[in-house]
Amino acid sequence: MGQLVGGIGTSHAPSIAFAYQRSKSANPEWRPLFDAYGPVKKWLEDARPDIAVVFYNDHLTSLFFDRYPTFALGAAEAFPTADEGFGKWPFPDFPGHPEFAWHLAECLVNDEFDMTVCQELALDHGIVSFAPLLWDLPWPVPIVPIAVNVIRYPLPTARRCFALGQAVRRAVESYDAGVRVVVLGTGGLSHQTSAEGFGFVNPDWDENFMTLLEHEPHRLTEYTHRELVALGGSESVEVIMWLCMRGALNPRVRRIHRNYYAPMLTGYGLLALEDAE
């Protein structure tokens, strides 16, 4: 039987990957963000997960508006990095775990989640941007990416995303092999990169969101997309992917680490949790 060792919520942004590539982690404007990942990286080393399930969104690099699935699961031996218009991200391919991915796909479909299964999938900054802050290269842990539609309306509800996380936990615990699995929910927090509200960030809401996610996640499942956008900006609806992660954990959790940093166009959040004893 598989075991879920914990969950991580983390913002993603192409600027994080650019800063990493250009060795800016010690620069004053970036150091608070990069240093915050140290305790979570150490926790991952100690927890020794065999597989990482990553809830993220594709930014029109592998999935496009002509057929954009609500939920898509990657089942491949490896996942290359994507070209987002400035060349392919210069990181090694991410190793996959096809056997576990197909188990997950079957369990989720049987649990009435109609997954699109992708046997080829290039990964963009939705995963690439924060991954080198959590793991040393080459990537030590196989991943199973689950893409969530947070771009093309209609979007899955916050409640549906939380339920997807619960279904992932059931799938992990029904797996024959004794693997250790960590789940990650990515995106957000508050930001808006278009229209009249360009540059909008709401630190008070971001901090409140992380508090509710830790202690009262079911309250967050009641929020509509419109309410989330009003509180955090148009792109902040990505926080529903954090609810996928939180749904995979028990109602009572223990905090490993929490950080918030908002010096730029995005509220960067980081929250690591594990089930309470």
Looking at 191, 218, 225, 257, which residue is catalytic?
Answer: 191
User: End-to-end distance of the chain based on CA atoms, in angstroms?
Assistant: 19
* 191 classed as catalytic: yes
Q: What whole-number distance in Å separates Cα of residue 30 and Cα of residue 26? A: 7
CB contact at 8 A, 21 and 4? no
Q: What whole-number distance in Å separates Cα of residue 80 and Cα of residue 61? A: 12
Q: What whole-number distance in Å separates Cα of residue 207 and Cα of residue 259? A: 9
* 125 classed as catalytic: yes
Q: Shortest CA distance to 16 belongs to which of 2, 7, 29?
A: 29
Looking at 12, 97, 103, 125, which residue is catalytic?
Answer: 125
CB contact at 8 A, 145 and 81? no
| Beta bridge partner(s), residue 210 | none
- DSSP string over 113-162: --PEEESS--B-HHHHTTHHHHSPSSP-S-EEEEEE--SSSSPPPHHHHH
CB count in 10 Å sphere of residue 59:
16
CB contact at 8 A, 175 and 103? yes
Residue type for 224, please?
Answer: T
What is the set of active-site residues? 125, 191
